[in-house]
Chains A and B, each alone.
Chain A
């Protein structure tokens, strides 16, 4: 039995629903990450990065 036979007989329709749920969760996760409390300061400082060619907004630690 070839892989194509196995897949051909498998009912994959449930995967669409699983995919939908995963996508919505991923999207909600990103939205939460973007709007989570306390992130505003970081976004404000990140948005300044293109405007200064010399000075890092947040210099890196050596361990980063």
Chain B
């Protein structure tokens, strides 16, 4: 190790920008607390629907995306930026390329988070998981991300270190891939200031979404944090990583494999089988590099395990990296189709992501910030005891949370598929399978509360450390070797195997080329998987009887999107006997060709709705939305009494139908006639509600639009079911 510069070397003088690191650190504390508290609130809502607070802005469907976006992009995002700005400058021996871009990145990102926190409760959403934010915010994300990438690449080009440490590779891969994922999944056609429709429909939209969704996990929650691990673990353990060779294999294997894994979110759905199989195989292959990485992280402590006893930072790292191993063991297992048949749509998946998020992302962040705080605030950590307490409370909280929710998932999955000796469903009433989970849901509330208590102790500890900071931060001047003139021996490559690998040495020194290679690896995988689904006709056979929604049904569908119904209700019946017995004929790819965006869902907190149309009379829906517990006494669904009072905004329909028609949905005469058609259908449904004994005067109220939509779902192919009145299709 070089401890001092050799004599006679010219030294550059500069300083690292730690102010930006402190900014991101505080943002991590604030948004982490907010995101987790929202998580606790929605956990309470599932245990008791009274916690929906009777407000449309605080119902589960609107707050769940707020929780996921806050903890992923605000908490984990700011934590990644915090660690990346600290480590990048030191690994490259260079100050960030532009202080202005750093600040633009920071404030831009915080504004985006505020915009998300305002728009999601208002019901402005694209309905795609982790990509809910509407198009103006998506544009802002793209601009801020480009500023970050520009700043980062600029720093790399001005670096004083010849090689790029493996953490920097992970950062580059994350930055590039997140940009690609974000742009392609969010391509949509605006139909208003905060309303848009996905460019893709049905199977293709589902494919794009989970190509994005899984890789958001891979390239926003995994590779950035692996970069942090490869930097901060050696720092905390005071020794180099166990095997640098293994870290390189870890990196390239993840980059090559991860991007293919997305379709495992769509097993047994209308996605073509080959894509599903491909997703499963690549997920199973991920076992090897993920565990290689975990072992590499843990063994960095080789010979120093006794330090874990005294050091809360190492405790957090060891449990965090172990959680990475646990969740990356479980992920490939869940991607195996037969396991997935049980786990999909259940809480098992929720438990899986919380092992990863609370254990891996949370604990790595906590360990990193405990390590950073004394260095950034130039004062000793306020209380090591409190840090240890935080560790034990949070660990206990995670265990309570995941044990409860794993058992909830398996319980509900087994109940859904149980048949009695006569071959009928043992639990035909869906709500029965929900009520069985209530004890587990309360244990989750307890576990989550402990984790948040830990987060509060953590924040208090860090703020107390900050309060002990000096009046002015000391900004050390770094004296690092300036760029040298090339040595003659290196100018002429020596002959030998492949020209003495001179070509290779040049490659390694070219970050631009490295970035191109990563992009190529990601692009090849994406294109090979996605293009056939779009272009090969046999993948999405069309069905002649499937017609677009009427304008009023489209309005109802937009309400379904606005309220976040998709967070609890799937619309995708798998071709498995226990599903078709419970819900009806399985969903065909051709049924969702006009679904911009797809609403297949990923979790059944309530029953599947793919064949809901015609199951109940209109009046049943009117009463059920007003108060679900009036018809299903122990239902946990939020009430939507405002549907009966809020007026339908007929004027937006022209623009929305127009946008749909531009996306290729054959609306025909409805394009010019949307509003009168919607009014006519609304009057028809309102008349039926009144005739069957319901309230009068609903013809211009939102309730008729959502009822129109509910009655239409899954009716375009011949299935059995009660016939309820419904409007005329275009």
B-binding residues in A (CB < 8 A): 3-5, 7-8, 12, 15, 19, 23, 26-27, 30-31, 33-36, 42-44, 46-64
A-B contact pairs, 9 of them (CB 8 A): A30-B248, A53-B90, A56-B481, A58-B163, A59-B160, A59-B480, A61-B487, A62-B484, A64-B483
* Interface: B159 (CB within 8 A): yes
Question: Quick check: which of B96-104, B233-241, B575-583 contacts chain A, the rest being far away?
Answer: B233-241
B478:A53 contact, CB within 8 angstroms: yes
Q: Write out the residue numbers on chain A whose beta carbons fall within 8 Å of the beta carbon of B535.
A: 3-4, 7-8
B244:A46 contact, CB within 8 angstroms: yes
B4:A55 contact, CB within 8 angstroms: yes
Contact of B162 among A47, A54, A58 (CB under 8 A): A58
B162:A8 contact, CB within 8 angstroms: no
A50:B249 contact, CB within 8 angstroms: no
A23:B1 contact, CB within 8 angstroms: no
Closest-CB distance, A60 to chain B (whole angstroms): 5
B235:A51 contact, CB within 8 angstroms: yes
Closest-CB distance, A8 to chain B (whole angstroms): 4
Decide: A60 near B3, CB < 8 A? Known: A49-B161, A49-B163: no
Of residues 219 through 255 on chain B, the ones whose CB sits less than 8 Å from some CB of chain A are: 230-231, 234-235, 238-241, 244-245, 248-249, 252-253
Closest-CB distance, A14 to chain B (whole angstroms): 13
Q: Write out the residue numbers on chain B whose beta carbons fall within 8 Å of the beta carbon of A51.
A: 1, 234-235, 238-240
B244:A55 contact, CB within 8 angstroms: no
The 7 A-B residue pairs with the shortest CB-CB distance in the complex, in nearest-first order? A47-B240, A59-B481, A61-B486, A43-B244, A58-B162, A47-B244, A49-B165
Smallest Cβ-Cβ distance to B477: which chain A residue? A54
A57:B161 contact, CB within 8 angstroms: yes
Smallest Cβ-Cβ distance to B375: which chain A residue? A53
- Sample of 14 further A-B pairs with CB below 8 A, known A23-B256, A36-B501, A61-B484: A4-B536, A7-B532, A7-B535, A15-B528, A30-B249, A46-B244, A52-B1, A53-B16, A53-B478, A56-B2, A59-B9, A59-B161, A61-B483, A62-B484
Decide: A55 near B163, CB < 8 A? Known: A4-B535, A8-B535: no
A59:B163 contact, CB within 8 angstroms: no
A34:B245 contact, CB within 8 angstroms: yes
Closest-CB distance, A25 to chain B (whole angstroms): 12
Of residues 441 through 495 on chain B, the ones whose CB sits less than 8 Å from some CB of chain A are: 478-487, 490
Q: Give A31 to B537 CA distance when docked, in angstroms.
A: 39
Smallest Cβ-Cβ distance to A42: which chain B residue? B163
A49:B2 contact, CB within 8 angstroms: no
Q: Give A51 to B438 CA distance when docked, in angstroms.
A: 50
Q: Write out the residue numbers on chain A whose beta carbons fall within 8 Å of the beta carbon of B91.
A: 49-50
Q: Give A63 to B335 CA distance when docked, in angstroms.
A: 47
Q: Write out the residue numbers on chain A whose beta carbons fall within 8 Å of the beta carbon of B90.
A: 50, 53
Q: Give A33 to B508 CA distance when docked, in angstroms.
A: 11
A-binding residues in B (CB < 8 A): 1-5, 9, 16, 87, 90-91, 93, 159-163, 165-167, 230-231, 234-235, 238-241, 244-245, 248-249, 252-253, 256, 478-487, 490, 501, 504, 509, 528, 531-532, 534-538
A8:B163 contact, CB within 8 angstroms: no
B161:A26 contact, CB within 8 angstroms: no
A43:B245 contact, CB within 8 angstroms: yes
B159:A60 contact, CB within 8 angstroms: yes
Q: Write out the residue numbers on chain A whose beta carbons fall within 8 Å of the beta carbon of B478.
A: 53-54
Q: Write out the residue numbers on chain B whose beta carbons fall within 8 Å of the beta carbon of A15.
A: 528
A50:B528 contact, CB within 8 angstroms: no
Contact of A12 among B160, B241, B248, B532 (CB under 8 A): B532
Smallest Cβ-Cβ distance to A4: which chain B residue? B535
Q: Give A60 to B573 CA distance when docked, in angstroms.
A: 59
A5:B537 contact, CB within 8 angstroms: yes
Q: Write out the residue numbers on chain B whose beta carbons fall within 8 Å of the beta carbon of A36.
A: 501
Q: Write out the residue numbers on chain B whose beta carbons fall within 8 Å of the beta carbon of A35.
A: 245
Closest-CB distance, A57 to chain B (whole angstroms): 6
Smallest Cβ-Cβ distance to A36: which chain B residue? B501
Closest-CB distance, A47 to chain B (whole angstroms): 4
A34:B249 contact, CB within 8 angstroms: yes
Q: Give A46 to B531 CA distance when docked, in angstroms.
A: 39
A59:B245 contact, CB within 8 angstroms: no
Closest-CB distance, A33 to chain B (whole angstroms): 8
Smallest Cβ-Cβ distance to B534: which chain A residue? A4
B160:A60 contact, CB within 8 angstroms: yes
Closest-CB distance, B487 to chain A (whole angstroms): 7
Name the residue in A5, A49, A53, A55 with the highest tally of chain B Cβ atoms < 10 Å from its Cβ.
A49
Q: Give A47 to B231 CA distance when docked, in angstroms.
A: 10
Smallest Cβ-Cβ distance to A19: which chain B residue? B528
Q: Write out the residue numbers on chain B whose beta carbons fall within 8 Å of the beta carbon of A43.
A: 244-245, 248
Q: Write out the residue numbers on chain B whose beta carbons fall within 8 Å of the beta carbon of A34.
A: 245, 248-249
Closest-CB distance, A55 to chain B (whole angstroms): 5
Q: Write out the residue numbers on chain A whose beta carbons fall within 8 Å of the beta carbon of B486.
A: 61-64
Contact of A52 among B2, B9, B482, B536 (CB under 8 A): B2
Q: Write out the residue numbers on chain B whose beta carbons fall within 8 Å of the beta carbon of A48.
A: 1-2, 240
Q: Give A53 to B91 CA distance when docked, in angstroms.
A: 7
B165:A50 contact, CB within 8 angstroms: yes
B162:A56 contact, CB within 8 angstroms: yes
B162:A60 contact, CB within 8 angstroms: yes
Q: Give A54 to B429 CA distance when docked, in angstroms.
A: 66
B252:A30 contact, CB within 8 angstroms: yes
Decide: A4 near B163, CB < 8 A? Known: A30-B248, A43-B245, A61-B484: no
Smallest Cβ-Cβ distance to B10: which chain A residue? A59
Closest-CB distance, A4 to chain B (whole angstroms): 5
Q: Write out the residue numbers on chain B whose beta carbons fall within 8 Å of the beta carbon of A4.
A: 534-537
